[in-house]
Structure 1
Amino acid sequence: MIKTLAGQVKEFKKDSILTPFFMILEVIMEMIIPLLMSSIIDDGVERGDIHHIYIIGIWMVVAAGIGLFAGVMGGKYGARASTGFAKNLRQAMFENIQTFSFSNIDKFSTPSLVTRMTTDVTNLQNSYQMLLRMCVRAPFSLVCAMIMSFSVNAKLASIYLVAVLILGAFLALIIWRAMGYFTAMFKKYDDLNASVQENVSAIRVVKAYVREKYEKSRFTKASDNVYRMAVKAERIVSFNSPLMMLTVYSCILGISWLGAKMIVQSVLTTGELMMLLAYCMSILMNLMMLSMVFVMLSMSVASAERVSEVLNETPDIVNPDHPLYEVKDGSIVFDHVSFRYNKDGKKNVLNDISFSVKEGETIGIIGGTGSAKSSLVNLISRLYDVSDGRLLVGGKDVREYDIETLRDEVSVVLQKNVLFSGTILDNLRWGDENATEEECKRACRLACADEFIDRMPEGYHTYIEQGGSNVSGGQKQRLCIARALLKKPKILILDDSTSAVDTATDAKIREAFAKEIPNTTKLIIAQRVSSVQNADRIIVMDNGEISGFDSHENLIKTNEIYREVYESQTKGGGDFDENGGE
């Protein structure tokens, strides 16, 4: 974990080295000032030597000035190092997330990833700054002050040693008790973020069903859980300050009482007593500072583990040692393919699937909800890897291809259509960032998206809100299809992506595909028989297995499942789910 996080310091190593250097310089100046103060009292004030007072006073000002400069520079470099460290952490996490396969992403929830990239990284940023500044300054100051105190008077300095040992034991107990609550508190942040994220993303559903009161109570519960954990932790930490003050004042009383006796006995000078009192405050305040650092570090341990989990997560799907960078054609072969989402699971989602598709064929895929239609097509572009068997594209196993090359040749319009904030052209160019406006218009004509775009005042420069909230479901689907077509893929997969489109427009889209992209292999998942009946062949899925694979006419004669659905839909009725299918 430490090695993983330390690797993100990168270009801020210089700042990370200069920060403790200036902290040490500041401490040295702080240790010199009480020594000079003692000299002023003993050799200047008591002897009436005004010249000595001026000279030592000037040196004190110089030491204070150097200490001030060192403190400012330490703060400057510390801030730069910690913010740079946080920036690198977020960048590294985001870049690693981009390499995740779907199976990796399934391990982390969206709110959890948001918490890790915000709250957890902020905790690590604060801890890193404390590590560079306070974790260097406090121990060094503590040791220096202790050495200076013992060099002046070992008997009086032993009071500090006893106080430090007792206080250190109590502070260790406080940190140990508080750490468990802080760890639990950060886990509760995930629930809090989940409540906010789901409420905002589904705000239309919340308002449509008048569930604001429920959402408020849900958020309140999550917020209260964070509050309770925080209060329990802070209640324990709150003992830190009074315990520290008790120790400080006890030490001052003890040193003053014993020191006064020693001055009367001429064993100790007034200047030395003042110096010891100054070192007393330095020792105990630095110990308190160190305790707060440990509290902060204990809080960040949970954050460090959560951030490291994301950074150390390796993608399940990676390039082979010698990948292929060319997909010959759009042919597809499933050779006894089985698939399960959980590698250690016993139940397959797909069982012994075998079929082949020639380049340029149009294949319909139909089946009830939960029959694994989407799981089947997700394997083609290696969004998941097969568990058993082989899947060939262009005559080669998909695991032999460079992932980027394979996915460039396979365009997938997923069930959940996603548009990003930006103009229509910006969204279309996700398919090809170098596409001209004319190429974008052609893709929209094929997807029948030009029909509504041309009616918009700003046309292709119309701004799309986040998530495509200012366009309808059918319009969103057609834009996503056009975006996929811009890739000029060898394989086009439409995963129930015309479900919100009327049947007439659906027919136009299929007709345009047949005429304009005849050499592209097309896989069309649909619930409506009318969407796939003109396909060259149709796969009927049932509970993760292929129930039938033939033309529309033959399936009506030979496949009972397909025939029942066809008859129910042509007679005005239903689809696969009318009887509550899976």
Structure 2
Amino acid sequence: MLQMLKHLKPYKWQLTWVFLFSLAAILFELYLPTLMADIVDVGIVNQDVPFILKTGGWMLLCSLMAILLMVGVSYFASRVSLGFGRDMRRKLFVHIEHFSLQEYEKFGSASLITRTTNDVKVVQDVINMMQRMMTRAPLMLAGGVLLAVSRDSQLSLVFLAALPVLALVIFIVARKAIPLFSALQKKTDRLTLILREVLTGIRVVRAFNRVEFERSRFNVANEDFCDTGIKVGKLMALMFPIMLIIMNFTNIAIVWFGAIRIDQGDMQVGNLMAFIQYAGMILMSLIMLSMAFIMIPRAQVSAKRLNEVLATNPMIQDPEKQATTNHGRGVVDFKGVTFRYEGAEKPVLEGISFTASPGETTAIIGSTGAGKSTLLQLIPRFYETDNGAILIDGVNVKDMQQSTLRGKIGYVPQKASLFSGTIAENIRYGKEDATEGEIYSALETAQAIEFVEKKEQGINSSIEQAGANLSGGQKQRLAIARALVRKPAIYLFDDSFSALDYKTDSKLRNALKTETSGATIIIVAQRVNTVKDAEKIIVLNEGEIVGIGTHEELLKENTIYQEIVASQENGEVSA
């Protein structure tokens, strides 16, 4: 939690005003019992009405000033806490954006969402509460004790019995609450994960009639979260009655022993009334502190989770000095590349070496799980290689700025990812300043112009989140157009034609030859029909290259490729 406080540096002046306003408000509040005691002991005893009215006026003024100052405290405390929440969400978002895929997989998207929203809100609320209570309560406690002792030091001994009991209650509750708060946040992650899986996979859930199963799974996680929340609620609910009982018994003891001292002539009635009010302030400040001590453990859990994200340095870093490259060529060299996923028993790719040159298409084919998509994702440094090197125009990708490297690449992922907005906005994701002419040209090459023009608003037609209002083939073609509008030196197509029919696939590949004639094209595909016209076909099997050549060469010499062709041969592909 202390690490979180360093993020409050930009708000030091607001925090200063919170402290000063709280101090001034408490001084006015602490003065009120003294004025009341004077009214009773001087005004009422001497029947001095002007003194009563004058002192009462001072009491009203002190109360009004205390109220105005506390409004100021609330205003500045809210600005600080809300500003902290805004800044922290921004820092997390920017930091997460720099994560490699290894870091994303380490935390999981559901956990990152929970940390960026729920955990930030918890810490934000506690910072707000700390400004109001942790500033006010200690000052009120110190002032109340000092003035109570000054009124009657012997009667103040009552607090020696009450305070240890209060401290014990706070300690017991906090000790039980900390592990529960930690479990609560983890169960929030689990709940978010299940909810996200069901919402994103709703078609699969319904297609396999697993609605009841998912409902049951969600109910288990929901009930688990609820049970833990109830336990926390019971602890909080139990604490306050105990506090009030201790507070009321303390007041009874003060009145009892105070009455004895008044009867003995050692204390005046006004002093006893003032002492009771100071006792109330002391006990109320302790209750406020106890609330803070109960909430701080939860904030500590959330702060720890936030610090875990912020303290995680991305595995993939930009070099201190940018290497110089030849612009526009796009030669891709793999030299003995090996890659293993974290926790995997064996490498997913091992000893990969090949060259993809400008003006030719390099296709990668192999069985499912052979490592084709992983190989493609190593080029833009989504993952970091374990051994070997990947060179772009003779420069190791590790020696290039990520922005420079990815600026050379037009990447079309296996799963077409579109964003809510218009078609034009999604295409301009590839090139921010793309003109309408460039957009239409990219759409035409990607064989998407026909269905786009049929829409009432054309390229200004809306796309729902994740392209929910488009078919799989339409999404793939828009994703291809997004890469084409960039006109990069290197095109990476990760099984990007799988949702297209053979006719559209063939027209698209023919259009690509003209549009990308001077660029390096690397295609990952499952269908032989998609790769057979490539100048170079790389056959992957269990993470290793088992053949490189043209379609005709591999068909004669490579057993694995022959098996792939035979498994797909149904009239579309023939020897």
TM-score by length of 1: 0.96
Residue 521 (structure 1) aligns with: 520
Residue 577 (structure 1) aligns with: none
The one-letter amino acid paired with 1:178 is A
| 1:339 aligned onto 2:339 | yes
The one-character-per-residue Cα deviations of 1:207-231 (angstroms, maximum 9, x if unpaired) are 2233222222222111111111111
Going from structure 1 to structure 2, the CA distance change for 1:367 and 1:212 (only over 3 Å counts) comes to same
CA contact (8 A) 1:327 1:409 kept: no
Residue 85 (structure 2) aligns with: 86
CA contact (8 A) 1:449 1:478 kept: yes
CA contact (8 A) 2:409 2:492 kept: yes
- RMSD between aligned alpha carbons? 1.6
What's the CA shift for 1:237? Answer: 2.3
| 1:243 aligned onto 2:239 | no
Residue 380 (structure 1) aligns with: 379
The one-character-per-residue Cα deviations of 1:221-271 (angstroms, maximum 9, x if unpaired) are 111111111111222222211211211111111111111111111100111
What's the CA shift for 1:399? Answer: 0.7
* Alpha-carbon separation, structure 2, partners of 1:326 and 1:182: 52
Residue 481 (structure 2) aligns with: 482
Aligned residues: 573
| 1:348 aligned onto 2:353 | no
CA contact (8 A) 1:179 1:299 kept: yes
Residue 502 (structure 2) aligns with: 503
Residue 391 (structure 1) aligns with: 390
The DSSP-based 3-state class of the residue aligned with 2:454 is: coil
Residue 150 (structure 1) aligns with: 149
Residue 492 (structure 2) aligns with: 493
CA contact (8 A) 1:182 1:233 kept: yes
The DSSP-based 3-state class of the residue aligned with 1:547 is: strand
CA contact (8 A) 1:363 1:536 kept: yes
The one-character-per-residue Cα deviations of 1:512-547 (angstroms, maximum 9, x if unpaired) are 121222111001111111101100010000000001
Going from structure 1 to structure 2, the CA distance change for 1:85 and 1:368 (only over 3 Å counts) comes to same
The one-letter amino acid paired with 2:30 is M
The one-letter amino acid paired with 1:480 is A
Where structure 2 has 5 or more consecutive residues not aligned to the other structure, the ranges are: none
Residue pairs, 1:564-579, within 5 angstroms: 564-571=563-570
* Alpha-carbon separation, structure 1, partners of 2:150 and 2:324: 74
Residue pairs, 1:52-451, within 5 angstroms: 52-324=51-323, 326-328=325-327, 329-342=329-342, 347-451=346-450
The DSSP-based 3-state class of the residue aligned with 1:133 is: helix
The one-character-per-residue Cα deviations of 1:341-397 (angstroms, maximum 9, x if unpaired) are 22x766211111111122222101000110000111111111111110111011110
TM-score by length of 2: 0.97
Where structure 1 has 5 or more consecutive residues not aligned to the other structure, the ranges are: 575-582
* Alpha-carbon separation, structure 1, partners of 2:137 and 2:97: 41
CA contact (8 A) 1:335 1:391 kept: yes
Judge which range, 508-517 or 207-216, deviates more.
207-216
The one-character-per-residue Cα deviations of 1:128-147 (angstroms, maximum 9, x if unpaired) are 01111101111111111011
CA contact (8 A) 2:170 2:293 kept: no
Judge which range, 198-207 or 475-484, deviates more.
198-207
What's the CA shift for 1:563? Answer: 1.1
The one-letter amino acid paired with 1:182 is F
The one-character-per-residue Cα deviations of 1:541-563 (angstroms, maximum 9, x if unpaired) are 00000010111111011100101
CA contact (8 A) 1:365 1:539 kept: yes
Residue 21 (structure 1) aligns with: 20
The DSSP-based 3-state class of the residue aligned with 1:557 is: helix
The one-character-per-residue Cα deviations of 1:39-65 (angstroms, maximum 9, x if unpaired) are 111111112122221221121112111
What's the CA shift for 1:478? Answer: 0.6
The one-character-per-residue Cα deviations of 1:432-485 (angstroms, maximum 9, x if unpaired) are 010001101101111111122122222211111111111110111011000011
* Alpha-carbon separation, structure 2, partners of 1:148 and 1:41: 18
Residue 580 (structure 1) aligns with: none
* Alpha-carbon separation, structure 1, partners of 2:560 and 2:382: 29
What's the CA shift for 1:330? Answer: 0.8
* Alpha-carbon separation, structure 1, partners of 2:509 and 2:571: 22
The alignment-based identity, stated in percent, is 38
What's the CA shift for 1:294? Answer: 1.0
The DSSP-based 3-state class of the residue aligned with 1:239 is: helix
The DSSP-based 3-state class of the residue aligned with 1:383 is: coil
The DSSP-based 3-state class of the residue aligned with 2:106 is: coil
* Alpha-carbon separation, structure 1, partners of 2:398 and 2:201: 37
* Alpha-carbon separation, structure 2, partners of 1:527 and 1:509: 16
| 1:560 aligned onto 2:564 | no
The one-character-per-residue Cα deviations of 1:497-521 (angstroms, maximum 9, x if unpaired) are 0000011111111111212221110
Judge which range, 534-543 or 207-216, deviates more.
207-216
* Alpha-carbon separation, structure 2, partners of 1:240 and 1:568: 70
CA contact (8 A) 2:494 2:524 kept: yes
* Alpha-carbon separation, structure 1, partners of 2:235 and 2:61: 42
